[in-house]
C-alpha cells in the first residue's frame, strides 16, 4: 500500500484507539521479518533508523541498505513509515530527510527553551517536505539494547524524576508544531532487572491536554494488560526493539544447544521466524491487526 509519513498512520490509530508498533532496523533479514508479519496481519508499521545505533554499531548500513528497504516499503501491501529515531541535530536530520525518510524524531534536551527552538527549526524544514516530526519532552532513561542494569534503584529514581510534565509538554507541542510527542511515563530503553512503575494517571492527563498522538520508547517488557491499558489511555506509537532482538537471541541459543551441527542459514531462518511470530503477536495485542 506504500510509503507513508506518521500522520497518515497515527491519526487513524488515535481515533480508533489502537497502538502502532515502531521498531528499529538493524539488518535486511530483520526488516523482512517485520514487514512480512505486518503484511500477514494487515497492519500499518513504522520502521526506524536509529541514529545512535548507526553511530555506535553501524548494524544497518544506511548508505547501502536504505534504497532496497525503501523499495520494500513502497511495494508493501500495508502502510509503512520510514522514521529516524533519536536524530541528534538539525544537520543530521536534514541529511536523513534528503535521503528519503518520511518521518524524523528530534531527541529532547532537558532545557525546555532549547528543546523548543531545536524542534521548531526541524519542523520548519521537515514539514515543507511532507515529513512528520516527533519531539520528546521528559528524557526517556536507559541505553538501548544494554543487557543488565546493576544499579536498578538509581534507574527507577531517575525515571520518576524524568517524568514528562504536562504543562511543559503542552507548551512544547504548541510552540513547535510537532506531529507527535514522545513522553516519559515509566518505560525506559533496553533491559532492566525489574520493571519500573508505569504512571497511568500521567498518560490520561497528557492525552486530555494534548491532541497530538503520544509516543513511548522502551515499550519492551510490559504485560498484555498494560499494553492495552496504556493504549486505551492515549499512547498511540510504541517503540519496541529490545524484545524482538531478545526473541532472536533466545531462538538462536535454543537452536544451537539442541543441534550442534545446525547450519548458520537454518539458525538465522529460525531466529527470524521467531521475530516474525513476536511481531504478529504484538500487532494483535496493540490492536492494529486488520487496520491497514
Kindly tell me which of 45 and 105 has the beta carbon lying closer to Zn ion: 105
Contact 62, 69 (CB under 8 A): no
Query: What's the DSSP call for residue 213?
Result: P
Q: How far is the CB of 292 from Zn ion (least distance, A)?
A: 25
List residues binding Zn ion (CB under 5 A): 217
Angle between the 224-232 and 200-209 helix axes, to the nearest 10 degrees? 30
H/E stretch holding 236 reads: strand 235-239
Count of all residues that appear for the chain in the document? 292
Closest distance of CB 203 from Zn ion, Å: 17
Residue 90: other Cβ atoms inside 10 A: 15
Residue 109 CA to residue 218 CA, distance in Å, equals 18
Supply the DSSP string of 26-62, one letter for each residue. Answer: -SHHHHHHHHHHHHHHT--EEEEEEHHHHHHT--S-H
**Residue among 178 and 271 whose Cβ is closer to Zn ion:** 178
Q: Which is nearer to Zn ion, 134 or 212 (CB)?
A: 134
Nearer to Zn ion, 32 or 92 (CB): 92
Between 217 and 291, name the residue whose CB sits nearer to Zn ion: 217
Residue showing the smallest CB distance to Zn ion in the complex:
217
Radius of gyration of the chain (CA): 18
Shortest distance, position 39 Cβ to Zn ion, whole Å: 26
**Based on CB atoms, which residue is closest to Zn ion, 83 or 276?**
83
| Phi then psi dihedrals of residue 221, to 5 deg | 95, 5
In the complex with Zn ion, the residue whose CB is nearer, 198 or 274, is 198
Least distance (Å) from Zn ion to the CB of residue 40? Answer: 27
Q: Residues 232, 246, 86, 50: what is their CA dihedral angle, to the nearest 10 degrees?
A: -130
Shortest spacing between CB 243 and Zn ion, in angstroms: 14
**Element housing 216 (H / E):** strand 214-216
**CA separation for the pair 198, 151 (Å, rounded):** 19
Instruction: Give the shortest CB-22-to-Zn ion separation in angstroms.
Output: 10
Range list of H helices, 214-241 = 224-232
DSSP assignment, residue 150? S
Torsion of CA 110, 141, 100, 60, to 10 degrees: 140
Which CB atom, from 48 or from 274, has the smaller least distance to Zn ion?
48
Amino acid at each position: 500500500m506504500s510509503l507513508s509519513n506518521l500522520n497518515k498512520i497515527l491519526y487513524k490509530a488515535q481515533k480508533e484507539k489502537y497502538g502502532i508498533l515502531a521498531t528499529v532496523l538493524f539488518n535486511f533479514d530483520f526488516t523482512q521479518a517485520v514487514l512480512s508479519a505486518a503484511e500477514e496481519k494487515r497492519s500499518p508499521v513504522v520502521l526506524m533508523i536509529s541514529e545512535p545505533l548507526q553511530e555506535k554499531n553501524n548494524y544497518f548500513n544506511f548508505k547501502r541498505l536504505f534504497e532496497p528497504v525503501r523499495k520494500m516499503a513502497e511495494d508493501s501491501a500495508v502502510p509503512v513509515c520510514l522514521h529516524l529515531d533519536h536524530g541528534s541535530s538539525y544537520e543530521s536530520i536534514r541529511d536523513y530527510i534528503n535521503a528519503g525518510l518520511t518521518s524524523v524524531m528530534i531527541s529532547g534536551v532537558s532545557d525546555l527553551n532549547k528543546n523548543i527552538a531545536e524542534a521548531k527549526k526541524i519542523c520548519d524544514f521537515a514539514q515543507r517536505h511532507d515529513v512528520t516530526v516527533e519531539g520528546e519532552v521528559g528524557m526517556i532513561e536507559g541505553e538501548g539494547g544494554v543487557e543488565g542494569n546493576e544499579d536498578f534503584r538509581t534507574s527507577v529514581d531517575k525515571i520518576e524524576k524524568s517524568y514528562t510534565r504536562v504543562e511543559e509538554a503542552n507548551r512544547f507541542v504548541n510552540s513547535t508544531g510537532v506531529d507527535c510527542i514522545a513522553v516519559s511515563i515509566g518505560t525506559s530503553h533496553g533491559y532492566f532487572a525489574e520493571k519500573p512503575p508505569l504512571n497511568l494517571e500521567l498518560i490520561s492527563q497528557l492525552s486530555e491536554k494534548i491532541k497530538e498522538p503520544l509516543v513511548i520508547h522502551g515499550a519492551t517488557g510490559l504485560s498484555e494488560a498494560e499494553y492495552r491499558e496504556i493504549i486505551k489511555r492515549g499512547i498511540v506509537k510504541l517503540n519496541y526493539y529490545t524484545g524482538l532482538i531478545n526473541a532472536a537471541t533466545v531462538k538462536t541459543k535454543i537452536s544451537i544447544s539442541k543441534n550442534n551441527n545446525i547450519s548458520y542459514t537454518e539458525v538465522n531462518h529460525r531466529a527470524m521466524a521467531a521475530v516474525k511470530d513476536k511481531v504478529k503477536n504484538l500487532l494483535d495485542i496493540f490492536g492494529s491487526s486488520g487496520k491497514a
